[in-house]
Amino acid sequence: MMKDESKDLPVERLFPFVLRSRTLIVGRDTLRRSKSRLHFVLITRDISETSRAEILSDFAHYPIVQNYTTEELEKYFGIKGTKVIGFAKSGLAQSIYARLKEHRINPSMSHG
């Protein structure tokens, strides 16, 4: 009976678990090197148009979600000045993405 309870909680409640599970990938270079284990990319709302276009091009085959500000990422994940983060493939990343997919900014590609 308690199963659906987590769906009512804000997605931010899952962020501390991301830090513990080491599914957070920070920084563009690290993201590029980690493509094989990447589930989705999150960029902040305060990212520059140039950087946004770059991410959309570099990570076209991955879901890209735009949400939060640089300050919010710092608050949730303790990372300063970061505008791009990725989530490694995991059940946790899937749960987070499911909650954030309404903020997706790139079209989905069919994998298959």
The 10s digit of each residue's pLDDT in 11-30 is: 999 999 999 999 999 989 99
**What confidence score (pLDDT) does residue 7 get?**
62
Tokens found for residue 12: 């931010």
Query: Does the predicted TM-score (pTM) go above 0.85?
Result: yes
pLDDT at 57 over 90: yes
Q: What is the pLDDT of residues 75-91, one digit of tens each?
A: 999 999 999 999 999 99
72 Cβ partners below 8 Å, 6+ apart? 44
Q: Name the pairing type of β-strands 24-26 and 64-66.
A: unpaired
pLDDT of residue 108: 78
Query: How far is the C-alpha of 80 from the C-alpha of 92, rounded, in Å?
Result: 23
Question: Which pLDDT score, from 0 to 100, does residue 1 have?
Answer: 41
